[in-house]
Amino acid sequence: MTIDEDPTPTEAATLGGGCFWCLEAAFREIEGVVDVTPGYAGGHAPDPTYKQVCAGRTGHAEVVRVAFDPSVVSYEDLLGIFFTIHDPTTPDRQGADVGPQYRSIVLYHDADQHAAVEATIARFEADAVWDAPIVTEVVPLGVFYPAEAYHHRYFEQHPNEGYCRVVI
């Protein structure tokens, strides 16, 4: 069987909650996640580079595209994980990472995902999980740009780097 004939049905989620290295490392640990690709989305500049996104002028956020098997893990479960591994109440910031590229953002792929995101946020707000309101941006996915190759599996390749040891 070739990869093209892989019978595993997959769906995708596109999520941003600060540094994409952190999100990638966390989501790779989830059973049912088939792949995680760091990248950029939610902005206006075509084919952005890491340097351009970090400068905060492209409108893009650092995000991950999570390919998952919905028979093992649901989109709603992934949202639950997402909202607990970052702070969705801080605009344009996650810890020491500051700027619009680090904003909390969910880029939904279809109407079902949109409804699931809104329901998840409403549930967390009703349960008063955080002391401040959720400021996560919820928008339709436009174009996803994969990050440069050296960002893929960054934590796996650099576990002893200072940022990885302290933050991830």
- Coil, strand or helix at 125: helix
Rounded Cα gap, residues 15 and 80, in angstroms: 12
CA angle 23, 64, 159 (to 5 degrees): 40
Rounded Cα gap, residues 11 and 95, in angstroms: 30
With beta carbons less than 8 A apart as the criterion, state whether 79 and 116 touch.
Answer: yes
In order, the DSSP letters of 143-161 are: --EEPPGGGTTHHHH-TTS
**In the annotation, is 164 catalytic?**
no
28: number of Cβ within 10 Å: 15
Q: Which of 19, 22, 54, 164 is catalytic?
A: 19
Residue owning tokens 């939904």 = 108
> What is the set of active-site residues?
19
